[in-house]
Chain A
Amino acid sequence: MAPNLGFLGGFKLTLEHLTRPRVTSQYPDEKRPKQPRQHGRHVLGRYEDGMEKCIGCELCAGVCPADCIYVRGLDNPPDHPVSPGERYGYVYEINYLRCIHCDLCVEACPTEAITETKLFEFSFTNRSDAIYTKRELLVGDDGRPQHLPWEDWRPGDDRFTSGWMRATSPSGAADYEGRVQWSGELGYGVRAPEGGQSGRRDDEATGTKALRATMEAHLLDVDIPFAHRGMRGRLWRAQLSASRAKAKLADRRAARRPAAQEATTPTGAPGA
Chain B
Amino acid sequence: MITGALFGLDPLFAPGLHWVELLIVVVRVLVAFGVLLVTVMLMIWFERKVISDMQSRIGPNRAGPWGLLQTLADGIKLFFKEDLLPERADRFVFKLAPYLALLPALLIFTVVPVGGMLTIAGHRFELQVVDPPIGILLVLAMSSVSVYGVMLAGWSSGSKYPLLGSVRASAQMISYEAALGLTVVAVVLTSGSLSTRAIVASQAHGFWDWNVIRLGFVPFFLFLIAITAELNRPPFDLVEADSELVGGFNTEYSSIRFALFYLAEFMNTISMSAVVVTLFFGGPDGPIPRFIPTSDIWMPIVWFSVKTLAFLFLYVWFRAALPRLRYDQLMDVGWKALIPLSLGWLILVAAVLVWHWWGLFVGVGEFALGLLLARAFKVGGRRSGEHNLGGAMPEGTR
A: residues with CB less than 8 A from B are 10-11, 13-15, 17-18, 20-24, 26
Contact = CB atoms under 8 A, between A and B. Distances in A.
Contacts, number: 30
A31 to B, nearest CB: 15
A21 B321 CA distance: 19
24 contacts: A10-B322, A11-B317, A11-B321, A13-B321, A14-B54, A14-B317, A14-B320, A14-B321, A15-B54, A17-B53, A17-B54, A17-B55, A18-B53, A18-B54, A20-B56, A21-B56, A22-B56, A22-B57, A22-B58, A23-B56, A23-B57, A24-B56, A24-B57, A24-B58
A133 B56 CA distance: 41
Contacts of B54: 14-15, 17-18
Contacts of B317: 11, 14-15
Nearest to B318: A11
A17 B53 CA distance: 7
Contacts of A14: 54, 317, 320-321
Contacts of B55: 17
A26 B61 CA distance: 10
B103 to A, nearest CB: 34
Nearest to B57: A24
Nearest to A218: B56
Contacts of B58: 22, 24, 26
Contacts of B53: 17-18
Interface in B154-208: none
Q: Which 10 A-B pairs have the closest CB atoms?
A: A10-B321, A14-B54, A14-B320, A24-B58, A11-B321, A14-B321, A17-B54, A18-B53, A24-B57, A23-B56
Nearest to B319: A14
A26 to B, nearest CB: 7
Given A20-B56, A24-B58, 13 more contacts: A10-B322, A13-B321, A14-B54, A14-B321, A15-B317, A17-B54, A18-B50, A18-B54, A21-B56, A22-B58, A23-B56, A23-B57, A24-B56
Interface in B50-67: 50, 53-58, 61
Contacts of A18: 50, 53-54
Contacts of A26: 58, 61
Interface in B317-358: 317, 320-322
A139 to B, nearest CB: 36
B55 to A, nearest CB: 7
A15 B318 CA distance: 11
A270 to B, nearest CB: 33
A131 to B, nearest CB: 34
B144 to A, nearest CB: 30
B326 to A, nearest CB: 16
Nearest to B62: A26
Contacts of A13: 321
Nearest to A23: B56
A165 to B, nearest CB: 29
A29 B322 CA distance: 34
